[in-house]
Amino acid sequence: METFFSFLERRVDDCSSLVCVGLDPHASDLPSPTAEAARAFCVNVVKQTARYAAAFKPNAAFFEVFGARGWTALRQVIEAVAEESARKGSMIPVILDAKRGDIASTAAAYARSAFEKLGAHAITLNPYLGRDSIEPFIQDQEKGVFLLCKTSNPSGGDLQDLMVTPAGGAQALPLHLHVAQLAQQWNTRKNIGLVVGATHPEALSRVRAAAPDLWFLSPGVGAQGAELETALKAGLRPDGKGMLVNVSRTIARATDPASAAADLRDEILSFKRQSYAG
């Protein structure tokens, strides 16, 4: 039976890319501070880069700031991705960057909002509330989640690097590694991945060792300064997959977003040819 990650892997094969194009319509990038301008900005990026995108990741915050009109614009951007998918005959997954995290009926409502009302295929979640807080999002194995594990921001380590001793554990380990181990255990429906920033290559390597099979969503290449080749060495699985390189501003703000996405795709392909030849 299909899972979110089987859909994703098919798209990765179809477009020969591991590029996840972030859709973050910053107010400074828009001709006017309106939901309609945010929609137009993102739809333009989608149309220009769909050929090279393994996935798109709209950030909910930049739409929610416009209220109800922003929510409509977000849905329209996701619909634009669906239209490009149909045009190309290859489903391009949409990962809603919302970082939700709550329990019981609240989590179920968030899941319905993301998957049924907006039409997203996956969502980012904060796993701090434990297994029951993500369960509503993974009931349908064709929908995926990426759990925040080791984020790309400088102060993420304030909590994520704290040493913890899991129940029954033989030794203490950083909290982000415990999250990775839990994700491996919880992934019974094969639809759980991890957010692991490319800005922390040593942690990226440790998380890969702790979660050898999972897909990573890895922000930080581009505007945040992470080095692409170093991140790929640390995060890719032995099959040359398992990692989405998320880039937002560097592509969206380029004079030619299509060329920027193609160049990144080609850099990744060049690294894989050199590292996985034979």
- Model confidence pLDDT, tens digit, residues 67-77: 999 999 999 99
Give the CA distances from residue 51 to residues 166, 239, 241, 265, in Å, rounded to whole numbers and listed in that order. Answer: 44, 23, 18, 10
pLDDT in tens, 102-158: 998 999 999 999 999 999 999 999 999 999 999 999 999 999 999 999 998 889 999
Sheet with 192-196, edge to edge strand ranges: 55-58, 19-23, 243-247, 216-219, 192-196, 144-150, 122-125, 95-100
Mean pLDDT computed over every residue of the chain: 95
Binned at pLDDT 50, 70 and 90, residue 276 comes out as confident
Is-catalytic flag, 57?
Answer: no
CA distance 115 to 145: 11
| pLDDT score for 168 | 75
* Residue among 47, 99, 241, 272 flagged as catalytic: 99
* pTM recorded for the entire structure: 0.96
DSSP string for residues in 5-41: HHHHHHHHHHHT--EEEEE---GGGSSSSSHHHHHHH
Alpha helices, H only, 117-212: 131-138, 157-160, 175-186, 201-210
Q: Which residue has the higher pLDDT, 210 or 167?
A: 210
Question: The tokens of 50 are what?
Answer: 């769909």
The answer to whether residue 278 scores a pLDDT higher than 80 is: no
pLDDT in tens, 72-115: 999 999 999 999 999 999 999 999 999 999 998 999 999 999 99
